């Protein structure tokens, strides 16, 4: 079994080390992770400058590559150049921070998992809903391992990957969910730069606008580890009828 | 009518000027566009450094802001800080390059349109399938204008935006499509850097793996302007049955 791992918090974040340790019980692991934080990089690719990657550590059955690119770059580079053959499974995370609801679209962690699905390899993005680098993975790790073991056993449909989120602290179980509706507001704080025009720091408040408590945001708040299958096909089939008026 | 425009090729690209000119016949236009190319930035946000924006030109009913952020940043900043009130419609493009098939996921142009949909504003990403900055918009502009006029007239469902792509040269008409399946391969060329480890330039060959000739990739190759409604909800509902085995 050959397992590729990446993340978006960078190669020094505790989450990717926990994930590599857990995965190394299932096969040989190659980590190709960004050299620093790449949060909120979505599926961004690096196309205007070259990227590089080098091995920084080999220990037991884990090889660690540090890469100058985005999480999606890391998956592309690993599959295209660094690995001798395609990985059997691709894991991304464990992200320090929530990727529930609409955050799935901004997430570098999930961008990497979607890139994995594009390479037709079963791929999973794991997140814990706390930004702290000191967060404990004690409670969620057994359920993450169940998701990994069952994905190895059953595979995933083509062009689909998993977005797995865990609450902080004890968990009530695991739930298969759909993505919650949600919104960000109050996106920036404005400040005065010393030598230039005004500048803006992204901040933001998240609002769960989803009434269904079985969707992922409410479920993780209720203490469940949530599993949302997500797909590469973004087509809004439900909008086809409405859109006929726009093209006619 | 207040119209917000952005793009991912940067404020100096011809496509955004063509789009602003066309849109200015329908209302007052504010362009908030990146200060340089941000292709393949997907829905990436800038969160580790502040961003800035300044007015660089006012002409007729068009105000031009140059922004240091990504396309999605531009939409967030405009809606949250730069505009007095929410725009009535958000346009992104005209992108120099195709955003059909799986390219929709990497596209900064579409990332901005999705961000617009998240703000509950009807949003459209426009692209022409040629990277040249000298490409002629003569044939596609009348159909892009029809999409704009009809979207103003009929609106769009919540959490849905449009991905509109045009072939180069004469067009056969307009088609409402779903997103084609597709794959990239041969993603990088490897080279030797003068002072460091190997480096890799992203290149890649696109393969249309979609058998359905009414999907967007084949349709644009057949000469149609394609309109694909895309959605914020990435849930793979079709995979729920399979995934029950993974969570149980």
The pTM for the full model equals 0.97
**Average pLDDT estimate for A54-82:** 97
pLDDT of residue A101: 98
User: What is the complex's ipTM, to 2 decimals?
Assistant: 0.96
pLDDT tens sequence across B42-54: 999 999 999 999 9
Chain B residues touching A156 at Cβ < 8 A:
239, 242-243
Better-predicted residue by pLDDT, A61 or A198: A61
pLDDT at residue A75, as a whole number? 98
A32 part of contact set with chain B, CB < 8 Å: no
Q: What is the pLDDT of residue A109?
A: 98
Cβ–Cβ gap A106/B45 under 8 Å: yes
**What's the pLDDT at A184?**
96
- CB-CB under 8 Å, B232 with A102: yes
In the stretch 123-182 of chain A, residues with CB closer than 8 A to chain B read 146-147, 150-151, 154, 156-157, 159-160, 162-163, 174-176, 178-179, 181
Edge-to-edge strands, sheet with A188-192: A188-192, A198-202, B51-59, B62-67, B28-34, B2-6, B89-96, B123-128, B160-166, B224-231, B173-176
Q: Contacts for A133-139 with beta carbons within 8 Å, 24 or more apart?
A: A133/A9, A133/A13, A133/A14, A133/A96, A134/A14, A135/A14, A135/A96, A135/A168, A136/A168, A136/A169, A137/A14, A137/A15, A137/A18, A137/A94, A139/A166, A139/A169, A139/A170, A139/A171
**How high is the pLDDT of residue B192?**
77
Cβ distance of A47 and B39 shorter than 8 Å? yes
Contacts of A227 in chain B (CB under 8 A): 243, 246-247
Q: Considering only CB atoms, which chain B residues are within 8 Å of A230?
A: 234-236
User: Which stretches of chain B score pLDDT less than 70?
Assistant: 196
Residue contact B50–A175, C-beta within 8 A: no
Average pLDDT, chain B: 96
- Tell whether B242 lies on the interface with A, counting CB pairs under 8 A: yes
Query: Are the C-beta atoms of residues B148 and B125 closer than 8 Å to each other?
Result: no
Chain B CB within 8 Å of residue A205 CB: no
Alpha carbon of B80: minimum distance to chain A alpha carbons (Å) = 6
Chain B contact set for A160 (CB, 8 A): 236, 239
Nearest CB to B199; choose among A50, A178, A191: A50
pLDDT tens column, A135-167: 999 999 999 999 999 999 999 999 999 999 999
pLDDT (tens digit per residue) in A87-109: 999 999 999 999 999 999 999 99
């Amino acid at each position: 079994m050959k397992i590729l791992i990446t993340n978006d918090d960078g190669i020094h974040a505790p989450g990717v080390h926990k994930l590599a340790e857990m995965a190394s019980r299932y096969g040989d692991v190659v980590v190709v992770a960004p050299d620093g934080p790449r949060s909120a990089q979505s599926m961004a690719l690096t196309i205007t400058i070259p990227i590089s990657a080098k091995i920084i550590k080999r220990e037991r059955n884990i090889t660690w590559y540090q890469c100058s690119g985005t999480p999606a770059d890391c998956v592309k580079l690993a599959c295209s150049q660094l690995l001798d053959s395609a990985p059997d499974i691709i894991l991304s995370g464990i992200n320090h921070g929530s990727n529930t609801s609409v955050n799935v679209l901004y997430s570098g962690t999930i961008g990497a998992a979607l890139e994995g699905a594009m390479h037709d390899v079963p791929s999973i993005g794991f997140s814990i809903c706390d930004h702290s680098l000191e967060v404990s993975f004690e409670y969620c790790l057994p359920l993450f391992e169940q998701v990994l073991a069952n994905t190895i056993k059953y595979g995933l449909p083509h062009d689909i990957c998993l977005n797995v989120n865990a609450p902080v602290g004890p968990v009530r179980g695991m739930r298969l969910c759909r993505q919650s509706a949600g919104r960000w507001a109050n996106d920036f704080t404005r400040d005065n730069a010393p030598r230039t025009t005004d500048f803006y720091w992204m901040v933001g408040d998240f609002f769960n606008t989803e009434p269904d408590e079985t969707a992922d945001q409410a479920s993780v708040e209720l203490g469940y580890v949530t599993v949302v299958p997500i797909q590469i096909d973004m087509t809004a089939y439900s909008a086809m009828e409405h859109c006929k008026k726009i093209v006619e």
